[in-house]
Amino acid sequence: MSHARGENSMFGQRIRLARKRAGLSLRSLAERVNPKVTAQAISKYEAGKMMPSSAVLVGLGEALDVSLDFLMSNRIDVLDGLEFRKDPGTSGRDRARAEAVLIDELERYLTIEDILGIPPAGDRFAHCRCDCIATEAEIDERADQLREEWDLGMDPVPSLCALLEEKGIKVVEADLPERISGLACRAMRQGNVVADAVVVSTRTNVERKRFTLAHELAHKIIRSTGNPAIRLEAAMNRFAGAFLVPGRDLLKKVGGRRRRVTYYEIARLKHAYGVSAAAMLVRLGQVGVLRPSAVRRAFATFARGWLTSEPEPIREGEGFGALEKPQRFRRLVWRAVGEELISPVRGAALLGESLEVVEWQVSGPVG
C-alpha cells in the first residue's frame, strides 16, 4: 500500500468510526454535511478510495462533531488486539464511541510525547512474556515471578495505575458509555507498536479498576493457555487475582484451610488488598483456604449480591482510592508548559481544562 493510500485508509477508518459513534447511516450523514455530498462519496471516503475537498472535510467534522485533528492525524494507523470489558448487549454504537474516545486520548498522549521528544515505548513485555500456560498453578507462579522480577515483594500494590505507567502502558481514565467499563489495545504506526494502552471508565469503582488493570497486564504476560479446560479470559482473571492477592501472603493472614471465613474478615481483606469482596472470596477458594463448595454456598447466600453491589466499597480519595489515578500524561503536559515548549492555551486544550485554571496553576496566587 502506498503512503497516500495508507493515509486515505486511516482517514476512512476515522470517518466510519465517527459515523457509527453518532449512530448515522451513510444517507443521514450525507444530509447533514454542508456543502452537500452524496452517500456514495462518503462510502468511498470510508473505503479509502477517495479524499474529500477541504470544504467537505470541514463539513464532515462539523456534522460528526469531531475535530479535524481526529480525522486527519497519522499518529496511529491501527488499533491492534482491541478488547472491550463490557456488559452483554453492548451496542455497536457504544463500542464505536469508546473506540473514538480511546483514539482521541491516545492521539493527545502521543502528541505530548512527540513535543517532548520521548520515543515510543515499544514492547516492554517481550522479555517477561510466556507463550503458554497449562495449569492454574502455573498462572499463580507466573504472577509471583513477575512480582519478583519487578521487586514488588508480596505486599499489596499501592497503585496499579502508577505501576503500569512506569512499565510503559498508557493508562487513561475517560467517560465511556455506561455498559463499557474499559478497553485495551496496542496502537500501531507503520507496523511498529507506538503504545500499549488501557482505558478505564470514570464510573468504574476502585476495586474493579484495579482488577481491570491487572487483567490487562495479564494479557501482556500470557499469550495463550495450553489447556482447553482453561479459557483465556478465565486465566487472565486468575492472574489478576494472584497478582493483586499473592497466595503466600493471603495464607499467612488467614491461617490455612478454614471451614468458613466471616464477612468481617472478607471486608478487612478486601480493603487490605484493594480488591472487590467477590474477588477476595474467589481468591480464598483458589489458594485452598475455602473449599469450592464453601465458595459456591457463599455466592448462593450472603454474597449473592456482591457482583452487582460492592459491600463496604473503597472510597474515592481514601487509601487505594487516592492513588489509583493516571498521572503521567498530566505530568508530561505540565513539563511541556513549564519548559515553554507549548503555550498555556495548548496545555489547556490537551488537559481539557479552562485557560483560566491553567494560567493560575502556571503562576500561582499573586501577592
Helix (H, G, I), strand (E, B) or coil at 187: strand
Tell me which residue has cell 485508509. Answer: 9
Could you give the count of Cα atoms lying within 13 Å of 308 in the half-sphere of its Cβ?
Answer: 4
148 and 204 housed in the same domain: yes
Return the C-alpha torsion angle 203, 208, 213, 217, nearest 10: -150
Residues 213 and 332 in one domain: no
Residue 109 lies in a domain: no
Contacts of 313 (CB under 8 A, 6+ apart): 205, 206, 207
Model pLDDT, residue 8: 60
Q: Let me know whether 305 and 251 are in one domain.
A: yes
Q: For residue 60, list its beta bridge partners.
A: none
Q: Are residues 305 and 332 in the same domain?
A: no
| Domain final position from 38, 55, 74 | 74
Rounded distance, CA 23 to CA 29, Å? 9
67 domain-assigned: yes
Q: Tell me, yes or no, whether 172 and 213 share the same domain.
A: yes
Query: Quick one: 228 and 294 in the same domain?
Result: yes
The domain total for the chain is 3
3-class state of residue 95 by DSSP: helix
DSSP string, 294-349: HHHHHHHTTTTTTTTS-SSPPPTTSTHHHH-S--HHHHHHHHHHHTTSS-HHHHHH
Question: How far is the C-alpha of 119 from the C-alpha of 260, rounded, in Å?
Answer: 52
- Measured CA to CA, the distance from residue 83 to residue 198 in angstroms comes to 10
Query: What residues contact 189, with CB distance under 8 A and at least 6 apart?
Result: 74, 75, 76, 77, 120
- Are 244 and 269 within 8 A, CB to CB? no
Residue 82 in any domain: the answer is no
Three-state SS at 196: strand
Q: Do 221 and 273 share a domain, yes or no?
A: yes
Residue 335 domain boundaries: 327-363
Categorise residue 318: left if φ over 0, alpha if ψ from -120 to 50, beta otherwise: beta
d(CA 326, CA 76): 21
Same domain, residue pair 133 and 218: yes
- Other beta carbons within 10 angstroms of residue 32's beta carbon come to 14
Q: Is residue 107 part of a domain?
A: no
- Provide the CATH number for the domain around residue 23: 1.10.260.40
Residue 106 is assigned to a structural domain of this protein: no
Residue-level pLDDT at 79: 87
- 55, 147: one domain: no
Of 74, 100, 118, the position where a domain reaches its end is 74
Which long-range contacts does 188-192 make (Cβ < 8 Å, 24+ apart)? 188/76, 188/77, 188/78, 188/79, 188/80, 189/74, 189/75, 189/76, 189/77, 189/120, 190/77, 191/77, 192/120, 192/122
Radius of gyration of the chain (CA): 23
Residues 37 and 130 in one domain: no
Q: Do 271 and 352 share a structural domain? A: no
Q: Is residue 115 one of the residues assigned to a domain? A: no
Q: pLDDT tens digits, the chain, 367 residues: what are they?
A: 344 444 567 788 889 888 988 889 999 999 999 999 999 999 999 998 999 999 999 999 999 998 888 888 878 888 888 999 888 889 989 999 899 889 889 989 999 999 999 988 777 888 888 888 989 999 999 999 999 999 999 999 999 999 999 999 999 999 999 999 989 998 888 888 889 999 999 999 999 999 999 999 999 999 888 888 899 999 999 999 999 999 999 999 999 899 899 999 999 999 999 999 999 999 999 999 999 999 999 999 999 999 899 999 999 999 999 999 999 999 999 999 999 999 999 999 999 999 999 999 998 886 5
Same domain (yes/no): 268, 251 = yes
d(CA 152, CA 174): 28
Nearest to 348 by CA among 69, 113, 336: 336
